[in-house]
């Protein structure tokens, strides 16, 4: 078990990262039944990916 009694709380203001310390977030998407990183797409496929719209489907109302 981890003893957290001697841990100090950090304020968000105390954590500062420079651009050198950051790493890029890799976005993956499902293509033709398997997952691939978007960075490996060709120019046309990247364009199609960025044009996609996200939506939420509502439940269908049942006939009474």
Query: What confidence tens digit (pLDDT) does each residue in 1-23 have?
Result: 566 566 566 565 678 888 899 98
pTM for the complete prediction?
A: 0.45
Asked whether residue 24 carries a pLDDT value surpassing 90, the answer given is no
Does residue 19 sit within a domain? Answer: no
Place of tokens 């033709």: 32
pLDDT at 43: 94
Does residue 39 sit within a domain? Answer: yes
Does residue 3 sit within a domain? Answer: no
Q: How far apart are CA 46 and CA 39, in angstroms?
A: 8
Pairing of strands 34-37, 28-31: antiparallel
Does residue 36 sit within a domain? Answer: yes
Does residue 55 sit within a domain? Answer: no
- Please give the tally of structural domains in the chain: 1
Does residue 30 sit within a domain? Answer: yes
Does residue 61 sit within a domain? Answer: no
pLDDT at 8: 62
Per-residue pLDDT of 29-58, as tens digits, reads 887 788 999 899 999 989 988 898 888 888
Q: Which domain holds residue 36?
A: 24-50
């Amino acid at each position: 078990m981890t003893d957290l009694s001697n841990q100090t709380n950090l304020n968000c203001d105390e954590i500062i990262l420079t651009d050198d310390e950051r790493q890029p977030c890799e976005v993956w998407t499902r293509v033709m039944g398997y997952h691939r990183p978007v960075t490996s797409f060709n120019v046309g496929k990247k364009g199609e990916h960025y044009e996609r719209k996200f939506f939420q489907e509502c439940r269908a109302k049942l006939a009474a």
